[in-house]
A and B are shown apart, each in its own frame.
Chain A
Amino acid sequence: MQTGSSGEVRSVVGATDTRGKHRISAELKRLEQETRFLEEEFEQLEKLERASASCKELLINIETRPDPLLPVTNGPVNPTWDRWFEGPQESSGCR
């Protein structure tokens, strides 16, 4: 079987298909297995929470973590974040 860009399965079995019995049988088994997986997923869908619940959790997680690449962020701030802008360490030199 082949999967198109939208995820649709196209049957390549047709009048001109010359593949042997074993190949078609193996693909049939895979399709039957896929059917079982999809049916399982369908059952799980009943108990699934809505997207808004995930979005809420996402927002909380983002806002509680300090982020050095944000212009404004919650603390604690780590001074080593600024090491990219500190000059080279010289063993001797005019200071």
Chain B
Amino acid sequence: MSVAELKERHMAATETVNSLRDRLRQQRLLLLDTDVAGYARSQGKTPVTFGPTDLVCCRTLQGHTGKVHSLDWTPERNRIVSASQDGRLIVWNALTSQKTHAIKLPCAWVMTCAFSPNGQSVACGGLDSMCSIFNLNTQTDNDGSMPVSRMLSGHKGYVSSCQYVPDEDTHLITASGDHTCVLWDITTGLRTSVFGGEFQSGHTSDVVSVSINGSNSRMFVSGSCDSTARLWDTRVASRAVRTFHGHEGDVNTVKFFPDGNRFGTGSDDGTCRLFDIRTGHQLQVYNQPHGDNEAPHVTSIAFSISGRLLFAGYTNGDCYVWDTLLAQVVLDLGSLQNSHDGRISCLGLSADGSALCTGSWDTNLKTTSVDK
């Protein structure tokens, strides 16, 4: 076939794909008989109300000298690892505010960190395109350097996000600027599977967030600068189970809903959304109108342990508490006394759901809880 003929077929195929996508979108709209808020209102539900002293900042963790980019809690409740522009990982006991480790990283440009399920190791990644694993039982030098216990290399772009597979200290998933996600075997340092990439169907731009299903750890969701979120089955690397369209900008953050059948997203388009994994439906948009000003971007999200609350951090320092059911903002943590002085870059819930930790460009982490 000549190049000219190939080009013609290419243009025709493009039209077919676009037309099919349009038709799918129309058909899906017919199935969207309600959104979550509409349904909840029809059941007589009213928004959660917080009194002025309910949700309060109970700890400020100070120690980083640069913007905090990422944080993760241990499964056993009280410890947090954080990664900062200052080139360090700090491990905190969030209850006592003490630092148990301050690790100086070989590559200062760290973007993400994660705690292993057994709490004995931490993983981090960033502009070095690698994911480094540190065993917390190892001693650090006087300047805080610690030997890396395993280096996971293979990505051809920055590592934006990483998470250990729940209950598996030997496997983790990374998301990368090279448009792929990778499932790693830490014991061998090798890639078990690559999701997407040049020769497979996957994201068409940087992948910046990943979340593994706590109820079924074979499923994970990824968020990308291609404006989509994709659901993957770790046994099938060749294609995503489903692609979720809707956002009109980079999907910066994805998080599974506690029941494992839905997930939330946050985007540069200023909205958060809730999607259903089995049907693919977009169940709700969480959008706060901002008048003529451009809406601030969503940087990070987390659900409370029942899923009733959706916490969302924004580029302008706001940290909205959304009532997930009624799609209303019930509190802005950014307007409370003692709140962060800058953008919220990351947030996460403790394992028992009793505290929310937020990390900020103001170099601090803060934990927030309900004072009953």
Main secondary structure on B side of the interface with A = loop
Q: Please report the total number of A residues contacting B with Cβ < 8 Å.
A: 61
Distance, CA A37 to CA B200, complexed state (A):
13
Chain A binder among B11-19, B145-153, B338-346: B11-19
Collect the chain A residues with CB atoms within 8 Å of residue B33's CB. Answer: 50-52
Distance, CA A17 to CA B45, complexed state (A):
57
Nearest residue in A to B367 (C-beta to C-beta)?
A: A84
Produce 1/0 per residue, A2-45, CB < 8 A to B. 11011111110110010011001101101111110111011001
Distance, CA A11 to CA B12, complexed state (A):
9
Contact assessment for B17 and A80 in the assembled complex, using a CB-CB cutoff below 8 Å = no
Contact assessment for B27 and A13 in the assembled complex, using a CB-CB cutoff below 8 Å = no
Of the residues A20, A25, A52, A73, contact of B306 by C-beta under 8 Å: A73
Contact assessment for A55 and B35 in the assembled complex, using a CB-CB cutoff below 8 Å = yes
Collect the chain B residues with CB atoms within 8 Å of residue A32's CB. Answer: 13
**Does B48 sit within 8 A of A, measured CB to CB?**
yes
Nearest residue in A to B226 (C-beta to C-beta)?
A: A3
A36-95 contacts to B, CB under 8 A, are 37-39, 41-42, 45, 48-52, 54-59, 61-63, 65-71, 73, 78, 80-85, 88
Contact assessment for B10 and A69 in the assembled complex, using a CB-CB cutoff below 8 Å = no
- B311 CB to nearest chain A CB (Å): 9
Contact assessment for B369 and A11 in the assembled complex, using a CB-CB cutoff below 8 Å = no
Main secondary structure on A side of the interface with B = helix
Collect the chain A residues with CB atoms within 8 Å of residue B226's CB. Answer: 3
Contact assessment for B355 and A84 in the assembled complex, using a CB-CB cutoff below 8 Å = yes
Contact assessment for A17 and B306 in the assembled complex, using a CB-CB cutoff below 8 Å = no
Contact assessment for B17 and A56 in the assembled complex, using a CB-CB cutoff below 8 Å = no
With contacts A31-B13, A57-B261 known, is A48 near B35, CB below 8 A? no
Between A and B, how many residue pairs show CB distances below 8 Å?
201
Contact assessment for B32 and A51 in the assembled complex, using a CB-CB cutoff below 8 Å = yes
**Does B353 sit within 8 A of A, measured CB to CB?**
yes
Of the residues A5, A33, A37, A65, contact of B305 by C-beta under 8 Å: A65
Contact assessment for B23 and A42 in the assembled complex, using a CB-CB cutoff below 8 Å = yes
Collect the chain B residues with CB atoms within 8 Å of residue A50's CB. Answer: 31-33
Contact assessment for B306 and A7 in the assembled complex, using a CB-CB cutoff below 8 Å = no
Collect the chain A residues with CB atoms within 8 Å of residue B18's CB. Answer: 8-9
Of the residues A11, A52, A65, contact of B11 by C-beta under 8 Å: A11
- B229 CB to nearest chain A CB (Å): 12
Contact assessment for A68 and B305 in the assembled complex, using a CB-CB cutoff below 8 Å = yes
Contact assessment for B7 and A24 in the assembled complex, using a CB-CB cutoff below 8 Å = yes
- A83 CB to nearest chain B CB (Å): 6
**Does B99 sit within 8 A of A, measured CB to CB?**
no
Of the residues A2, A39, A58, A81, contact of B352 by C-beta under 8 Å: A81
Collect the chain B residues with CB atoms within 8 Å of residue A48's CB. Answer: 31, 279-280
Collect the chain A residues with CB atoms within 8 Å of residue B279's CB. Answer: 48-49, 51, 54
Contact assessment for B354 and A81 in the assembled complex, using a CB-CB cutoff below 8 Å = yes
For the complex of A and B, list the 5 residue pairs with the smallest distance between their C-beta atoms, beginning with the closest.
A67-B306, A55-B39, A31-B13, A65-B306, A11-B14
Give A contacts to B, CB under 8 Å.
1-3, 5-11, 13-14, 17, 20-21, 24-25, 27-28, 30-35, 37-39, 41-42, 45, 48-52, 54-59, 61-63, 65-71, 73, 78, 80-85, 88
